[in-house]
Amino acid sequence: MLGSEISMVKIVYGVSGEGSGHSSRACEIVPHLEQSGHTVKVVSYDRGYNNLKNDFDVFETEGLHIASVDNRVSVVKTFTDNVQRLLNCHKKLQILRKEVFEKFNPDCVITDFEPTTAYLANHYDLPLISLDNQHRIRYMTYPCPPYLKKDQLLAVNIIRAMVPRPDVSLVTTFYYGKSMNDRTFFFPPVLRNEVLTLQTCRKEHILLYLTSGFESFIEQLSSFKREHFLVYGCDRNGKDSNITFKRSSKEGFLHDLASCKAVMATAGFTLMTESFHLRKPYLAMPMQGQFEQGLNAVLLDRLGYGANLCRVNQEAISSFLYHLPDFTKNLAEYNISDNSAIKAKIDELLANNCALAGEYHRKRIN
């Protein structure tokens, strides 16, 4: 970018607090924005706030979340949990308006699936850039099996409600369909620098990341005596036959991820794409009722990078283990890339005091 084209802008950056994938992505994008000379005010909640508060200027908002029981979305628990948050949501929204949008006076808003910043961008007539993996569900063509159609419709409506009118959508994806408009751009997944710099090897262990609700699955693994399983997420240490349990450890987990021969976990976007980058076959167990995870598992299976385990049974696990050489061969064709392409696009949108982002904004509202 030419020096004459550079202009410093003030950015509100909304980050969903659900899971760690959104904040992990922000940890790569926000420093790039700051190093480019921009001033960034991050807005997040729950896990996102806790992951970001020590490194960035973060306003803690209130956010809604999806509750699950036994790897299945619980509509009742989601509703009851969120009803309790609504009053605080309203209070935080008013403070967010005054302290961030009126005092900070941003030039544009970037949201990683965080709704309050998206809504306020529209309220204050600011250019809105969405940066997430969710918008491929809304703006990209992809194969969707009949059994997921109902969940797909619900997911599209939820995404529309969360981020109603983005001016530009920067979509991270490992499957590339066609864009449904001229304001959506596809990029490889944004990966943590810790993952980009990992040195990989292939040892004989299989890495699992599982939380509560997978007890029966873990029990079945004891039947595969020739395999060694390392399990994270159960908050315990110890060994039981061919299964070793490990407590949470960022460095330990990344080391075991880089050296494993395969991964077994839910179908969350972040761990899946980190595994693909490291050429690790993946057995996906999508959360029932969570469309994005169901779609991730379908696309994973379609690309031949692993298997979609809709129902836990020994035959499916055996099949996955048997086909590890095939999955590894397919993953050799996976496009390895850093985060430079999406950063360059952000720079383009923000150049000349958000000129291009502003142009997209004016076209959408006119």
Q: Where are the beta strands (DSSP E) in the chain?
A: 10-15, 39-44, 58-60, 68-69, 72-73, 108-112, 128-132, 168-172, 184-187, 205-209, 228-232, 238-240, 243-246, 262-265, 282-284, 306-308
Of 172, 147, 135, 119, nearest in space to 342 by CA: 172
Phi-psi category of 202—alpha, beta or left, where left has phi over 0 and alpha has psi -120 to 50? beta
Is-above-0.85 flag for pTM?
A: yes
- Helices 314-322 and 324-331 sit at what angle, rounded to 10 degrees? 50
> 215: burial class by Cβ within 10 Å (0-12, 13-18, 19+)?
exposed
- What pLDDT is stored for residue 67 in this prediction? 44
Query: Domain 194-331 - what CATH class?
Result: alpha beta
* DSSP-derived 3-state class of residue 5: helix
Q: How many CB atoms lie within 10 A of CB 40?
A: 22
Span 273-288, pLDDT tens digits: 999 999 999 999 998 8
Cα atoms in the 13 Å half-sphere on the side-chain side of 22: 25
- What pLDDT is stored for residue 83 in this prediction? 44
Of 343, 245, 327, 321, nearest in space to 278 by CA: 327
CA 190 to chain centre: 9
Of 278, 275, 329, nearest in space to 297 by CA: 275
- What pLDDT is stored for residue 79 in this prediction? 40
Span 118-129, pLDDT tens digits: 999 999 999 999
Of 265, 280, 134, 260, nearest in space to 210 by CA: 265
Q: How far apart are CA 18 and CA 64, in angstroms?
A: 9
- What pLDDT is stored for residue 129 in this prediction? 98
- What pLDDT is stored for residue 3 in this prediction? 43
Q: 258, 191 in Cβ contact below 8 A?
A: no
CATH number assigned to the domain covering 3-190+339-365: 3.40.50.2000
Ranges in the chain annotated CATH 3.40.50.2000 = 3-190+339-365, 194-331
Residue spans of the chain under pLDDT 70? 1-6, 63-88, 212
